[in-house]
Chain A
Amino acid sequence: MIYDAVIVGAGHNGLVAASYLARAGLKVVVVEKNDWIGGAAVSRELYPGFTYSNCSYVSSLFRPEIMRDLELPRHGLQILPYEGGALFTEGGDYLGMFRNHDANRREIERHSPRDAEAYDRYARDVLRHCRFIRPMLLRTAADPASFRPRDIAELAWLGKQMFGLSEMAMYDMIRFWTMSIADYLDEYFENPAVKAYQAVASIIGTALGPMSPGTAYVLLHHAMGDVDGNVGAWGFARGGMGSITKALAASLKAAGGEIRTGSGVERILVSNGRATGVVLENGDEVSGRRVVSNMDVKRTFLKHVDEDELPASFVKRVKNFKIRGSSGKLNIALDRAPRFTALPEGAPNMKGDLHFTDSIEKMERAYDDWKAGHFSRDPFQDMMIPTMIDPTMAPPGKHFMSCFIQYAPPKIEGQDWTDADRDAFAKACLDQIEAHAPGFKDSILHVEVRTPRELEREVGLTEGNIFQGELTFDQLLFNRPVPGYAQYRSPIRDLWICGSSTHPGGGVMGAPGRNAAAEILRDVKMPKKDMSDAYAVL
Chain B
Amino acid sequence: MPMPSFDAIVIGGGTNGLACAARLQKSGRRVLVLESGAEPGGAALGREFAPGYRAPGLAHLVTTIDARVEREMDLGRHGLSYAGLSLPSTLVAPDGDHLLLEGEAGERVAGLSEAERLAWSELRGQLMRFAGVLAPFKEMTPPRIAAGAGNEYMKLGKLGFGIRRLGKDDFREFLRMLLINVYDVLNDDLTDPRLKGILAHDAVLGTWLGPRSPNSLIHLLNRLAGQVAGRRAAVALPKGGMGAVASAMAKAAEAQGVTIRTGARVAAILVEDDRAVGVTLADGEELRAKTVVSAINPKTTFLSLVGPRHLDTGFVNRVRAMKSRGGAAKLHLALKGAPDFRGADLRTRLVLAPSETAVELSFNAVKYGEVPERPVMEVILPSAHEGGHAPDGHHILSAIVQFAPHAPKAGPDVARQEMLARSLAVLEDHAPGLRALVEHAELLMPYDIEARYGMVGGNWHHGELSVEQMLFLRPFAGTSQYATPLSDLWLAGAGCHPGGGISGAAGWNAAERIIRGTGR
Residues of A within 8 A of B (CB): 144-145, 162, 167-168, 170-172, 174-175, 178-179, 183, 186-187, 208, 211-214, 313, 320, 322, 361, 364-365, 368, 371, 472-474, 478-479, 483-484
Contacts and interface: CB of A to CB of B under 8 A. Distances in A.
B115 interface: no
B168 A145 contact: yes
B172 interface: yes
A171 B478 contact: yes
A16 B155 CA distance: 47
Interface string B165-183: 0001101110111111100
B175 A313 contact: no
Interface in B155-199: 168-169, 171-173, 175-181, 184, 188
Interface stretch (B209-217, B234-242, B443-451, B455-463): B209-217
Nearest to A324: B184
A474 B177 contact: yes
Nearest to B184: A322
Contacts of A178: 179, 215, 467-468
Contacts of A213: 179, 209, 213-215, 466-468
A174 B478 contact: no
Looking at A162, A172, A213, which has the most chain B CB atoms within 10 Å of its CB? A213
Given A167-B144, A472-B181, 20 more contacts: A144-B175, A167-B145, A167-B146, A171-B145, A171-B473, A175-B473, A183-B323, A183-B468, A187-B321, A208-B214, A211-B213, A213-B214, A364-B367, A472-B179, A472-B180, A472-B214, A473-B180, A474-B184, A479-B176, A483-B175
16 contacts: A144-B172, A144-B175, A145-B171, A168-B477, A171-B145, A171-B473, A174-B468, A175-B468, A186-B321, A361-B368, A472-B214, A473-B180, A478-B175, A479-B175, A479-B176, A483-B176
B184 A214 contact: no
Contacts of B177: 474
Nearest to A212: B213
Nearest to A167: B146
Contacts of A320: 184, 188
Given A179-B468, A483-B173, A172 B212 contact: no
Contacts of B168: 145, 484
B454 to A, nearest CB: 23
Contact of A214 (B145, B169, B215): B215
A187 B476 CA distance: 14
Contacts of A168: 477-478
A175 B212 CA distance: 19
Contacts of B178: 473
Nearest to B478: A168
Interface in B71-88: none
Contacts of A179: 468
Task: Pick the 4 closest A-B CB pairs, nearest first.
Answer: A171-B477, A483-B172, A214-B214, A167-B146
A474 B321 contact: no
B472 A171 contact: yes
Nearest to B145: A170
Contact of B364 (A172, A183, A368): A368
Q: How large is the interface on B (under 10, 10 to 19, 20 to 34, 35 or more residues)?
A: 35 or more
B172 A365 contact: no
Interface of B: 144-146, 149, 168-169, 171-173, 175-181, 184, 188, 209, 212-215, 317, 321, 323, 360, 364, 367-368, 466-468, 472-473, 477-478
Contacts of B317: 187
A185 to B, nearest CB: 11
A322 B321 CA distance: 32
Contact of B169 (A174, A208, A313, A371): A313
Nearest to A188: B321
Contacts of B209: 213
Given A167-B146, A322-B184, A483-B173, A365 B368 contact: yes
Contact of A172 (B172, B180, B477): B477
Contacts of B215: 178, 213-214
A214 B179 contact: yes
Contacts of A474: 176-177, 179-180, 184, 214
Nearest to B173: A483
Nearest to A478: B175
Contacts of B181: 472
Looking at B180, B215, B468, which has the most chain A CB atoms within 10 Å of its CB? B468
Nearest to B320: A187
A179 B215 CA distance: 9
Nearest to A472: B214
A172 B473 CA distance: 9
A167 B477 CA distance: 9
Contacts of A162: 145
Nearest to A483: B172
Contacts of B364: 368, 371
A178 B178 CA distance: 11
Contacts of B184: 320, 322, 474
Nearest to B171: A145
Nearest to B365: A368
Nearest to B170: A145
Contacts of B368: 361, 364-365
Nearest to A144: B175
B165 to A, nearest CB: 12
A365 B473 CA distance: 30
Nearest to B175: A144
B146 A371 contact: no
Contacts of B146: 167
